Amino acid sequence: MSSLKLFSGTNSHYLAEKIAAAYGEPLGHRTIKRFSDGEIYVSFDESVRGKDVYIIQSTFPNADNLMELMLMVDAARRASAAEVAAIIPYFGYARQDRKDKPRVPIAAKLVANLLSAAGVDRLMTCDLHAGQIQGFFDFPVDHLDGAAIFIPYLRSIQSDKLIIASPDVGGVKRAREFAKHLKAEFVVCDKHRERANEIASMQLIGNVEGADVILVDDLIDTGGTITRAAEVIMNKGAKSVRAICTHPILSGSAYENIENSVLTEMLVTDTIPLRKETSKIKVLTVADLFAKAIYQIQQNESVSSLFL
């Protein structure tokens, strides 16, 4: 008999099914429902005693996703699971990882504390907004790299001159890694914000004339930064601009911004489901990556073999 059980939260069921299929283990049966006032009720419909329980749930809005995950973790612990691992493909609140002004929370640390209090033994996630968030946890964190999905696709692009671009200074390390694997140069867009989700100005550092440019980011919210960066790059003489991001939050007018932009295409993963289809967005799945990571952990083998 298998020593693990895979379960899914409500809003990540679409991805959990793919992960389970890739791993070769069916999803476990559970009941999740809500009382008339919205309170969440969770129960496992099969025994998890002595099993390694993996609960798959991204914490994209709204906050019910996070609460549902913690209730499932607590239920598994109280049902005598051997170990409980939270698989959070998109780790929400990661953008609030420090105090950048007085009297604000460090939300990423708060979520880490909540998961620890609920009884999580291990966290598996992909492309945290800031890598140092791993230090907020006092248990093992498997931080998977979305580049393992994107790089093979990017290598199939026929281009005489390929350049990787970061849409802001904070993404330089990510862009440099992509450039190294693709043996390409990279450039940086330096942006200035006056308030959240609004860009006051943007400058390009580097030469992109005659190049096919790939903008690399971990997440896209309103799409303002990525579409503005694409416009600046095209105005500097680039031949084409594509964008890749792991987590397509795509809130507000993001879909319209992307559809009306100069971008040739945008590559995203399915850590967050798309709210609607658009001709410019192509989805690559992270299911195989997470399934392989689960297998490596269950076999007590290195997860780092999955990285590029």
The verdict on whether residue 38 carries a ligand-binding annotation is: yes
Find the mean pLDDT for residues 78-93. 97
* 277-286 per-position pLDDT tens digit: 889 999 999 9
For residue 22, the model assigns a pLDDT of 98
Cα distances from 121 to residues 55, 79, 141, 215, 290, in angstroms, run 11, 15, 9, 35, 17
Which of the 8 DSSP states describes residue 30? E
Residue type at 77 in one-letter notation = R
pLDDT value for 290: 98
Is 10 assigned a ligand-binding role in the annotation?
no
Query: Encoding tokens for residue 112?
Result: 């880490």
Residues designated as active site: 191
Q: Is 298 assigned a ligand-binding role in the annotation? A: no
pLDDT in tens, 152-211: 999 998 899 999 999 988 889 999 999 999 999 999 998 766 565 555 578 899 999 999
What distances in angstroms separate CA 244 from CA 65, 220, 275, one per listed residue? 25, 9, 18
Question: 127: which 2 tokens?
Answer: 């492309």
- Dihedral sign, Cα of residue 228, residue 234, residue 236, residue 239: positive
- Of 3.40.190.10, 3.40.50.2300, 3.40.50.2020, 3.90.230.10, which CATH number belongs to 147-284? 3.40.50.2020
Q: Check residue 168 and give its pLDDT.
A: 87
What distance in Å separates the CA atoms of residue 120 and residue 170, rounded to the nearest whole number?
30
pLDDT at 255: 95
* Helix (H) or strand (E) segment spanning residue 166: strand 162-166
Average pLDDT over residues 244-255: 95
The answer to whether domain 4-145+287-306 and domain 147-284 are alike in fold is yes
218 among annotated binding-site residues: no
State yes or no: cis peptide before 62, omega within 30 of 0. yes
Q: How far apart are the first and last CA of the chain?
A: 33
Q: Please report, for the chain, the start and end positions of each structural domain, with discontinuous segments joined by +.
A: 4-145+287-306, 147-284
Three-state DSSP at 188 gives strand
Cα gap 10→294, rounded to integer Å: 20
Domain 4-145+287-306 fold: Rossmann fold (3.40.50)
